[in-house]
Structure formats: structure tokens, C-alpha cells
Structure 1
Amino acid sequence: MRLSIDVHLDYGFAEPADVLLQIEAAAMPDQWIETESLVIRSDHPIRAVPGEAGIGQRCWARGEGRLVADYHATVAIDRPSLELAALPATMVRALPAETVRYLLPSRYVESDRFEHFVRGQFAGLRGGALAAALTDWVRENLTYSGAVSDGHGSALTTFAERRGVCRDYAHLLVALARAAEIPARCVGAYAPGVDPPDFHAVAELWLDGAWRLVDPTGMASCDDLARVAVGLDATEIAFMTIFGVATLQRQTVCVRRIDDVAGR
């Protein structure tokens, strides 16, 4: 699979502010960058820093009057689909050290508040079978709607209101998975077919010795997602973090399938 990605950001600033951008697709073993261009129009130097867990990179920029960024890339993906339910369970004490932080509650993922629900609702399930059941529950019990999502809701909020956007779906699945003793993290990604077209948030669950991509909204499959960033919750995968105040002038995200990958 190959994806064509085009992003245009245009923000206005009444007062100068630092901006942390995270919009470049990450180079990884199962996805690689064929072509890429990031142009940020600013009178100040741009500084790149590594992303969380060494995945992707962030760029520091300075918003002063106006900040315009254009990102264009062609990303090839070689990631076969998998049967989540068939993956075995891993005992918590056997998990790799780097996955342990993804078992713990975070700002928008109050996983400790879901332990009783998970034990009662999904009793008898473990490993991939449990992960698949959690994913199905989120997909079947939430309604996709931006009407109630203000960018500050948590997994508990989404669980109560039973609706939200992709970040809300991801937060809830990650919370349920952590409550079920499955390491889980949020993933910022590009995906074709997202409606409305935008930056997309999904989840990764640690199963059978590897991170497994899951889209609880059902809009994308694991074999056509291009990761941008990973993190504990939406705070760490935000495409733009503004240390001040900005006004959106224009923003477009276009992701298209080009063709299947014939070879690397």
C-alpha cells in the first residue's frame, strides 16, 4: 500500500507563541518514506526533536502574526492484516520494560476507573480475544459525533456520553485495554477514508511481543495507516501544541491511496 499525504496549516497569532508541530509520518520498519517535504513559513529558525519513544519527530516553530506549514509525502506501508483475536496473552510480569508505562493511568485515560467494568463485562477472555472484544465494544457502543468533543474530554467522559470523535474512541479503547492489563497507547496517524478528512487517532495494543494497530472507529484498517506519533494519550500525539493563543485560518488534510506496494 502507498499513501499520498498533503497537509496545509494556516494559523494566525495576535501575540507571539511557540508551536510544537507533529505532522511528519514516521519512518519505521513497516512504513517507509518515499518522498517528503515540510515547508514552514516563519521568520524564526525551526528545530526538530525526536518524538515519543523515538518514533517520528516534532518541530519547534514560532508563531508570530501568521504561521503556515505545508507537508507533502508519499509513504509506503508493508503491514499485513492480522487476526487480533488469535493472539495469545502475555503475563504482566513478563512484559518488556518499555511497555510498562502504557499500563498506567494518564491525564485523559483513567484506566484504573474501568477495572471493575472490564472484569465483569469481559470475564473469561484474555489476550487477543479480550482485545478484540474490547475493540468491538467501543465500536458498537459509541456514536461518531463531533458535537460533544471539545478536545478536553477523557475516557470517562466518552464512556458516560457514548459518543465522540477518533481521539475519544482511542482514549476509551486504551483505557479499557490498560484496565485489562494489556499495554496500550494512542497513535496519531494518517489514513485514507477518514470522514471528515483530518488527522486521525487510533490505538496500539501490545500483544504477542509486538504493538498491534487498531482503529476502534472502524474507518481504517491496520494495513493502510501511517503512524505519525505515539503517546500515553492525546496530549502526546497532538499534531499541534500551541504555547499561547492562535486562530485557525485554514486547515486541510488529504490522504489518498496510490496503489499497492509491489516491493520495497
Structure 2
Amino acid sequence: MKLQIGVELHYAVESATDIILQIEVPSFADQRVVHEKIELSETLDSAQVSAEEGLGHRRLLQVDKDFKCSYVTHVEVDRPALDISQLPAVPPHQLPSDAIRYLMPSRYCPSDELQNFVAAEFGSLNGGARIAQIRDWIFEGFKYVPGSSNAQTTALDTFVQRQGVCRDYAHVMIALARASAIPARFASSYAPYVTPQDFHAVAEVYLDGTWHLVDATGMAAANQIARIGVGADAAEVSFLSSFGQVYLQNQTVEVTVSE
């Protein structure tokens, strides 16, 4: 699938402010950047560093005037939409070292508090079959309600409230997968059929020796997603983090399928 992605950001600042920006799509084995262009407003300082797991990069910026960013890219996604229910789990004692940290509870995904629920609700299933059932359980039982959560909302909060946005769905998916002894991580991404259009969040789970994208909102299949980066949860893959007050003036994301 070929995707055309456009992002416009505009934030006001009152004084010199540091910003970490992560919105650019990197080339992976299953997605290729054909063309991209990014334009940034004037900065006091600018650097580029690798993102989590070395997948993609972050821009480290300091600004003292309104921050504006325009980003356009064309991406070819070459990733099959597999039937995840057929994939076997990898036992924890056989996991590669870089997957082990994604078994552990994290700031937004307190998976240790959901182990009893997972055992009671999904205990008869293993591996990909359990992941597919968890995904469907979230999709059928939760309501997608913009504005119903905030930057402090955890997977446990969403589990209780049964509503949220893509970030919250991903956190619940991750927490329940980890509670099942299946590594899971947060993936920031773009996808064409997300409503309303915005940055999109999905989970990645480790099955059958590799990572697989899972979207519990039902808005994006694995072969439609362009990943930006990955992390333990949203705290590690924010599209914009500021160290100082910033004020949103405008933000638009447009993702379309191109020929």
C-alpha cells in the first residue's frame, strides 16, 4: 500500500523552550520512504538522535518563537495482514534480550495488576489466539470517545471506564498481552482510515519470533500502517514533548492512499 502523509504543527511559546519531536517515518524492512520533506521554523538549536530501539529518530530543538513544522512523505508499506490467531507465542525463557523489557509493567501499562483478570477471561487460549481474543474483546467492549482521557490516563483507568482513544486502546492491549507473558510495545504511526485523522497509536506483540502490529480500535490493518517509532508506552513515543510551556495553535494530520 502506498501512503501520502502530511502534517502541519503550530505551537506558541513564551520563552526559550526545548522540544523533542518524533513525527518522521523511517524506512524499515516492511515500509520504505520514497520521498519526504520537513520544514521547521527558526530554532535556537537543533540536533538529531536515534529513537527507542534505534527505530527512527528524534529531533532535539530549542525555540524562542512560535514553533511551526510542515512534514510531507510518501511511504510504501509492504507488510502482510496475517491471521494473528494462528501464531505461536515464544516462552519467556526463549525470548531475545531486546524483547524481555516489553514483558514488564510500565508507566501507562500496569500489567501486573491485570494478571488475574487475564487468567480468568482468556485462560483457555494461548499465543496468537489469546491476542486475537483480547483485541476483539477491547474492540467490542470499549467506546471510542475523543476527549474522554488525558495524558495521565493509564491502561487500568481505561479498563475500568471502558472508553478512550487509540492511545488508550493500545495501552490496554499492551497491558493485557504482557499480563499473558507475551511481550508488547507501543507503536506510534500513521494510517489512512483513522477517524478523526490524527497521529495513530497501535500495539505491537511479539509472536512466532517477530513483532506484529495489532490495532484494537479496528481502524487500521497491519498492511495499512506506517510506523513512526516504538516504546514501552506512550511516554517513550510522544510525537512532541516540551520542556517548558507550549500552546497549541494548529495541528493537522492527513493520510491518504495514493496510486
TM-score with structure 1 length normalisation? 0.97
CA distance in 1, matches of 2:39, 2:126: 46
Match of 1:101 in 2: 101
Deviations 1:146-181 (A, max 9, x none): 232112200000001000000000000000000000
CA distance in 1, matches of 2:84, 2:137: 14
Structure 1 runs (4+) greater than 2 angstroms displaced: none
1:114 equivalenced with 2:110 (yes/no): no
CA distance in 2, matches of 1:53, 1:14: 34
- 8 Å contact kept, 1:188–1:229: yes
CA distance in 1, matches of 2:181, 2:63: 41
Deviations 1:33-72 (A, max 9, x none): 1001111112323211001001011001113121001111
Instruction: Report SS of the residue matched to 1:167.
Output: helix
What is the correspondence of 1:1-264 to structure 2 with a 5 Å cutoff? 1-259=1-259
- 8 Å contact kept, 1:42–1:61: no
CA distance in 2, matches of 1:41, 1:148: 32
Question: Identity rate of aligned residues, in percent?
Answer: 44
How much does 1:80 deviate?
A: 0.9
TM-score with structure 2 length normalisation? 0.98
Question: Given residue 177 of structure 2, which amino acid in structure 1 is its aligned partner?
Answer: A
For structure 2, the residue ranges without an aligned partner over 5 or more in a row are none
CA distance in 2, matches of 1:234, 1:243: 17
How much does 1:123 deviate?
A: 1.4
Deviations 1:219-246 (A, max 9, x none): 0110010000100000011100011110
CA distance in 1, matches of 2:162, 2:218: 16
- 8 Å contact kept, 2:89–2:206: no
Deviations 1:109-136 (A, max 9, x none): 0000000000000112111101101111
- 8 Å contact kept, 1:42–1:62: no
- 8 Å contact kept, 1:47–1:61: yes
- 8 Å contact kept, 1:49–1:59: yes
- Structure 1, 204-213 or 60-69: larger mean CA deviation: 60-69
Question: Pairwise CA RMSD of aligned residues?
Answer: 0.8
Deviations 1:71-121 (A, max 9, x none): 110000100110000011221101111000000000000000000000000
- 8 Å contact kept, 2:43–2:61: no
Question: Given residue 135 of structure 1, which amino acid in structure 2 is its aligned partner?
Answer: R
- 8 Å contact kept, 1:204–1:213: yes
Instruction: Report SS of the residue matched to 1:182.
Output: coil
How much does 1:4 deviate?
A: 0.3
How much does 1:258 deviate?
A: 0.5
CA distance in 1, matches of 2:64, 2:44: 9
Question: Given residue 31 of structure 1, which amino acid in structure 2 is its aligned partner?
Answer: Q
CA distance in 2, matches of 1:127, 1:156: 22
Instruction: Report SS of the residue matched to 1:15.
Output: coil
Question: Given residue 176 of structure 1, which amino acid in structure 2 is its aligned partner?
Answer: L
Question: Given residue 122 of structure 1, which amino acid in structure 2 is its aligned partner?
Answer: F
Q: How many residues end up aligned between the 2 structures?
A: 259
